[in-house]
Amino acid sequence: MNKIRKGDEVIVLTGRDKGKRGTVTARVDADHVLVEGVNVAKKHVKPNPMKGTTGGVVDKVMPIHQSNVAIYNATTGKADRVGVKLLDDGQKVRVFKSSGAEIKV
């Protein structure tokens, strides 16, 4: 079970974007996630008349390792760790380690 999923609000722990908050837009692979507004790079794009795209410099969101982000706990206003709890009906749910409250997606 992935502890950080698409749609989660996360906060960056290390790097040049430390302290920024954003929403996970996608999981690139098992270890990397795309976070909205975090780790943005400039990319030079050539024009392609066949596709109708213009050239220039565009901003592109690059993947960030999941160990460098933590899920944001809105009740405390801080980053929090994620644990997995087994319910009585056999279903697994993600919980905040600090309070034990379930993480709503």
Q: Is residue 92 part of a domain?
A: no
Q: Is the pLDDT of residue 1 over 80?
A: no
Q: What is the DSSP letter of 105?
A: -
Q: Is residue 64 part of a domain?
A: yes
Q: Is residue 18 part of a domain?
A: yes
Structure tokens at 1: 């079970």
| pLDDT of the residue at 104 | 81
pLDDT > 70 fraction of the chain, expressed in percent and rounded: 99
Q: Is the pLDDT of residue 22 over 80?
A: yes
Q: Range of 65's domain? A: 9-79
Write the CATH number for 40. 2.30.30.30
Mean pLDDT of the chain: 95
Q: Is residue 31 part of a domain?
A: yes
Handedness of CA 10, 74, 101, 89 (dihedral sign): negative
Instruction: Please give the tally of structural domains in the chain.
Output: 1
Map tokens 């906060």 to a residue: 11
Q: Is the pLDDT of residue 79 over 90?
A: yes
Across 51-63, average pLDDT: 95
Q: CA 20, 83, 81 angle in degrees (round to 5)?
A: 25
Residue 98's contacts (CB-CB under 8 Å, 6 or more residues apart) are 73, 76, 80, 81
